[in-house]
Amino acid sequence: MTEQLNLNDEEKGALDELFLDNRRKLIDLKGTMERERLELENVFEKESLDEPAVMAQFKRLEDARANLATERFRFVIEVRKMIGYDRFQSLKAFFTRLCRERERHGGERSKLKKYDHGGHARQWNE
């Protein structure tokens, strides 16, 4: 992929650093989301239904989901800023082909292990 995008060493390093920073943030945000989901289950499963408490917890869960989605999109924006329009279009085309490949193989991930759940390459210089 680095050859297709014609990335120099400085760009590879910057993208690797951005990716690692993003993964750390996503881990924290996913943890927050899971805790909010657990709390929603806890409040909802009580014998006496406290609808305002359930709705408030549901809102906290949805806020956590939105924060996670926002951070994922922020990463895409930063990549776009780093590599520019043309190379970003090439990257999008690559991931589109990757998604089609996954669909053809029934979601099989064995051939695609070096990609995370968001379809992003784990390291830019692999």
DSSP secondary structure letters along 10-49: HHHHHHHHHHHHHHHHHHHHHHHHHHHHHHHHHHHTSSS-
Count of other CB atoms within 10 angstroms of residue 114 = 10
Q: What's residue 3's pLDDT?
A: 83
In this predicted structure, the answer to whether residue 121 has a pLDDT above a threshold of 70 is no
Helix (H, G, I), strand (E, B) or coil at 124: coil
Q: From the options 1.20.120.1490, 1.20.950.20, 3.40.50.11540, 2.160.10.10, give the CATH code of 7-84.
A: 1.20.120.1490
62-115 per-position pLDDT tens digit = 999 999 999 999 999 999 999 999 999 999 999 899 999 988 887 655 444 444
Q: Please report, for the chain, the start and end positions of each structural domain, with discontinuous segments joined by +.
A: 7-84
Between CA 42 and CA 51 the distance in angstroms is 13
Q: What single-letter DSSP state applies at residue 120? A: -
In this predicted structure, the answer to whether residue 14 has a pLDDT above a threshold of 80 is yes
31-52 per-position pLDDT tens digit = 999 999 999 999 999 999 999 9
User: What is the pTM for the complete model shown?
Assistant: 0.76
